[in-house]
Amino acid sequence: MPSSESSLALSIPDPSSLFKDPFGLTVDQPIQPKPVTLHQPNTHIMSAPFTMHSFSSEPGDNVQPGEFLKTFRRFITYTHITENASIIESFGDHLKYSSPADEWFQELDVKDKTWKDVERAFLDCFPPVEKAKRMETELERELCELRLKVEDLRKKEKYAGEEVYTHVIFTEKALSLAKQAKISTGSNSIWKVHNELPDII
């Protein structure tokens, strides 16, 4: 039995021998596994670039059925929702909680129904509110009341999101009213408008 310190040291195996290849080749260091990068699915959904208001059908609701439906169509197009079940579910989520519209939706049997079926049922229950239209005589009177002041010439104002000269804005408004009054191709009332133009024009 070895009793000396040197004989005891010889009995300890060389650490490098633990990394010897079975074929006799010496490995300098243990082989480390290569890190594997896992690609996570992109679950980020961009928000729509417009405001999607909920619909209630209550008397004080400022959101009209037709406008709500039109905005919701834009919403599902932008967010790429295509499955009928997902569209219908999202539609229900945009109805104000416990409102008449929400109660209608909760009672609606959506099983085996397409989005088009739900859309038709919605319009049957909540038809678009028809906006009061101005009479042609009212439009013609408004046209004749348009005024372009001399001091406003050469000035610029914000119109349709752009800086525009006041005389151009006047022309656009006058033409729009004439088209709505269906007199844009005739000569009726032109003299009335012409008489109120600044002399410089």
Q: What's the pLDDT tens digit per position in 24-48? A: 555 555 556 566 555 444 444 455 5
The answer for residues whose C-beta is within 8 angstroms of residue 129's C-beta and 6 or more apart is 64, 65, 66
- Domain locations in the chain? 65-125, 136-195
Handedness of CA 152, 157, 160, 164 (dihedral sign): positive
The answer for residues whose C-beta is within 8 angstroms of residue 193's C-beta and 6 or more apart is 143, 144, 146, 174
CB atoms within 10 A of CB 198: 13
Amino acid 143: pLDDT:
79
The residue ranking higher by pLDDT, 19 or 147, is: 147
H helix intervals, 79-109: 84-93, 100-107
Which residue reads 């133009």 in tokens? Answer: 197
Q: What's the whole-model pTM score?
A: 0.50
> Whole-number mean pLDDT of the chain?
77
Question: If you average pLDDT over each of 6-10, 24-28, 66-70, which comes out highest?
Answer: 66-70
CB atoms within 10 A of CB 4: 8
CA dihedral 154, 160, 161, 165 (to 10 degrees): -10
Beta strand 162-165 pairing with 156-159: antiparallel
